[in-house]
Amino acid sequence: MMKRFILVIIMMISTLGVYSFTGNTLDAKKTSYASYYHDKFNGRKTASGEIFSNSKFTAANRTLPFGTNIRVTNLNNGKQVIVKINDRGPFHASRALDISKAAFDEIGDINRGTIPVEYEIVD
């Protein structure tokens, strides 16, 4: 009986320990690079089924759920923009975000292909 009690306590502690580490990973700020979509993608369907427009404030990420709003901060100048995840990508190891041209232009220079960014989920 005592062994079962101790086993149950150990399992509860283990479960709570794992939960505490996985619960905060989505809320954490992350740094990476962002690029922007080429105009040739205008009018095409995104992975979420929405029609892409470079004039809207949207983004692609490999793992964040569709519909998630994130704040993207340009680490070079501190400018920020909020975009909605509606696509998958980018499929380049050094970048975490592809953002629409309008969003990129809001925080950076579209003559540059990528910018260093920090991003976090907003409510």
pLDDT digit string (tens) for 6-22?
766 776 676 655 444 44
Residue-range domains of the chain with CATH: 38-122 (2.40.40.10)
pLDDT tens digits, 32-65:
999 999 999 999 999 999 999 999 999 999 999 9
Q: Can you tell me which residue has the tokens 């892409």?
A: 52
- CA-closest candidate to residue 24, choices 121, 89, 116: 121
What six digits make up the tokens of 95?
């970048």
Q: Three-state DSSP class for 15?
A: helix
Q: Which residues face 71 on adjacent strands?
A: 82, 120
- CA-closest candidate to residue 59, choices 91, 92, 31, 83: 83
Q: pLDDT-based confidence at 2, cuts 50/70/90?
A: confident
Contacts of 6 (CB under 8 A, 6+ apart): none
Outline where the chain has alpha helix (H): 2-22, 101-107
Q: Please answer whether residues 87 and 60 qualify as being in contact, where contact means their C-beta atoms are separated by less than 8 angstroms.
A: yes
> Phi first, then psi: what are they for 50, rounded to 5°?
-70, 155
Taking 70 as the threshold, does the pLDDT of residue 91 lie above it? yes
Q: What pLDDT is attached to residue 17? A: 57
Element (H or E) spanning 69, and its range? Answer: strand 69-74
Q: Can you tell me which residue has the tokens 């569709």?
A: 66
Q: What pLDDT is attached to residue 75? A: 98
Q: What is the pTM of this model?
A: 0.78
